[in-house]
């Protein structure tokens, strides 16, 4: 896509990150605010259970709301760790990813600055991420890593993977962030987002010697989550519990057929195993997916079309197009797999709309006839 779309996504991500952290950090500061008799001593930062719950809810609900608002504009990422994960799985181009990370870090600074400007006592110092009493650097590093991994894995399976409840992904993502904070706030401040740790540190001018763990920890967690996600994808995890998005009870026969292959030849027709209905449907041809075609978009949105991505060139479907979408010199055989990649399905979820679409679409329009 063009630079115009990249700049729109960058602006949206900056705005979304700013609003997310304004609400989240503002809630965290409010949770720690207590008045002294003179009202001059500012914030008492001993964290009790009620304070931790207040902070966790502030972050979870803030992300839920702002991600839901912005996911159709930018993807609602607000976190360099999530941006890195989407780039690693091919859901984002390198330029878009770099621009979003810059926007997220700038949004972190802007959000923290707004909290410091709008509230009395302590500026942004009370919402910086620091290690709790008795927590060593190694413990802090791996707390950040594992909590980040849970967040990234949730985003990948609820948002990057397309399913019938993708539009509800912000709820699950907000809840996992809330859960992470219930665990992590007392021990590390629960960064799990370099933008969240970097912004308050810049505004308050406070960079402890171990600040690096709030960058390296999320990096490790992202790599763990992406590695696990790609491993499950490589083993085709969708064939293990098939039919979770079906509108009817899936029979054992359907499970066996669908799990064995996406395509089978039936005379001159290809049999397409519809991932939603869990039943085979023959079609006479396939066409290349064009994200700019409104008819294709509508067909995908209403579940009347399926997108697949070319995999290893084994026994499969003869197509007149190469894997990159350009005309092939001769018909090629491709083994199709259902595409859950965000750039292959440009509708719904917390994907990043506007990225290059790929794959092959089976469409119930003029050139392609689907039969029950």
pLDDT given for residue 198 in this prediction: 97
Q: Tell me the range of 22-26, 309-313, 332-336, 352-356 where mean pLDDT is highest.
A: 22-26
Residue 177 tokens, joined: 């962030």
φ, ψ at 235 (rounded to 5°)? -90, 5
Q: Is the C-alpha dihedral spanning 264, 266, 269, 273 positive or negative?
A: negative
CA angle 229, 232, 258 (to 5 degrees): 130
Residue 187 near residue 131, CB atoms below 8 Å? yes
In words, the CATH class of domain 3-235 is mainly alpha
Q: From CA 71, how far away is CA 91, in angstroms rounded?
A: 14
**pLDDT above 90: residue 210:** yes
Q: From CA 282, how far away is CA 119, in angstroms rounded?
A: 63
**pLDDT above 60: residue 67:** yes
pLDDT given for residue 162 in this prediction: 75
pLDDT given for residue 137 in this prediction: 97
Q: From CA 351, how far away is CA 340, in angstroms rounded?
A: 10
Work out the average pLDDT over 33-42.
47
Higher-pLDDT residue of 280 and 172 is 172
User: Taking the domains of the chain in order of start, what are their residue ranges?
Assistant: 3-235, 256-362
pTM (predicted TM-score): 0.67
pLDDT given for residue 344 in this prediction: 40
Higher-pLDDT residue of 107 and 331 is 107
**3-class DSSP state of 284:** coil
Length of the chain: 372
**pLDDT above 80: residue 61:** yes
Residue 307 vs residues 133, 314, 324, 349: alpha-carbon distances, Å: 52, 18, 14, 16
Quickly state the pLDDT bin for 290 (edges 50, 70, 90): low
- Residue 336: beta bridge partners? 310
Structure confidence by residue, pLDDT tens digits, 191-200? 999 999 999 9
What single string gives the DSSP state of each residue in 237-282? Answer: GGGTSTTTT-SSPPPHHHHHHHHH-SEEEETTEEEEEETTTTEEEE
Residue 346 near residue 297, CB atoms below 8 Å? yes
For residue 312, with 0-12 CB atoms within 10 Å meaning exposed, 13-18 middle and 19 or more buried, which class applies? exposed
Q: Are strands 263-266 and 317-321 parallel, antiparallel or unpaired?
A: unpaired
């Amino acid at each position: 896509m063009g630079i115009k779309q990249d700049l729109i996504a960058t602006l949206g991500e900056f705005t979304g990150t700013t609003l997310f952290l304004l609400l989240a950090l503002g809630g965290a500061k409010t949770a720690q605010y207590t008045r002294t008799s003179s009202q001059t001593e500012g914030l008492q930062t001993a964290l009790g259970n009620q304070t931790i719950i207040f902070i966790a809810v502030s972050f979870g609900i803030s992300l839920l709301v702002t991600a839901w608002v912005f996911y159709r504009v930018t993807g609602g990422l607000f976190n360099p760790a999530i941006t890195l994960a989407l780039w690693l799985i091919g859901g984002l181009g390198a330029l878009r990813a770099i621009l979003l990370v810059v926007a997220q870090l700038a949004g972190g600074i802007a959000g923290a600055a707004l909290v410091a400007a709008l509230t009395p006592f302590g500026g942004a110092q009370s919402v910086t991420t620091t290690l709790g009493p008795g927590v060593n650097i190694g413990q802090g590093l791996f707390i950040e890593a594992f909590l980040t991994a849970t967040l990234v894995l949730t985003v990948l399976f609820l948002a990057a993977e397309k399913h019938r409840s993708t539009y509800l992904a912000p709820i699950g993502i907000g809840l996992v962030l809330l859960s992470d904070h219930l665990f992590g706030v007392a021990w590390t401040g629960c960064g799990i987002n370099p933008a969240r740790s970097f912004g308050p540190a810049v505004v308050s001018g406070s960079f402890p010697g171990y600040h690096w763990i709030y960058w390296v920890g999320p990096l490790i967690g992202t790599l763990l989550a992406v590695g696990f996600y790609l491993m499950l994808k490589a083993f085709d995890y969708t064939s293990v519990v098939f039919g979770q998005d079906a509108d009817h009870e899936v029979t054992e026969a359907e499970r066996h057929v669908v799990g064995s292959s996406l395509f089978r030849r039936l005379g001159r027709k290809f049999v397409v195993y519809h991932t939603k209905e869990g039943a085979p449907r023959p079609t006479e041809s396939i066409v290349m997916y064009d994200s700019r075609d409104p008819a294709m978009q509508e067909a995908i949105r209403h579940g009347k079309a399926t997108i697949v991505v070319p995999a290893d060139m084994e026994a499969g479907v003869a197509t007149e197009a190469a894997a990159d979408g350009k005309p092939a010199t001769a018909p090629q055989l491709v083994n199709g797999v259902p595409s859950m990649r965000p750039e292959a399905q440009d509708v719904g979820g917390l994907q990043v709309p506007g990225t290059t679409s790929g794959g092959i679409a089976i469409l119930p329009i003029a050139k392609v006839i689907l039969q029950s």
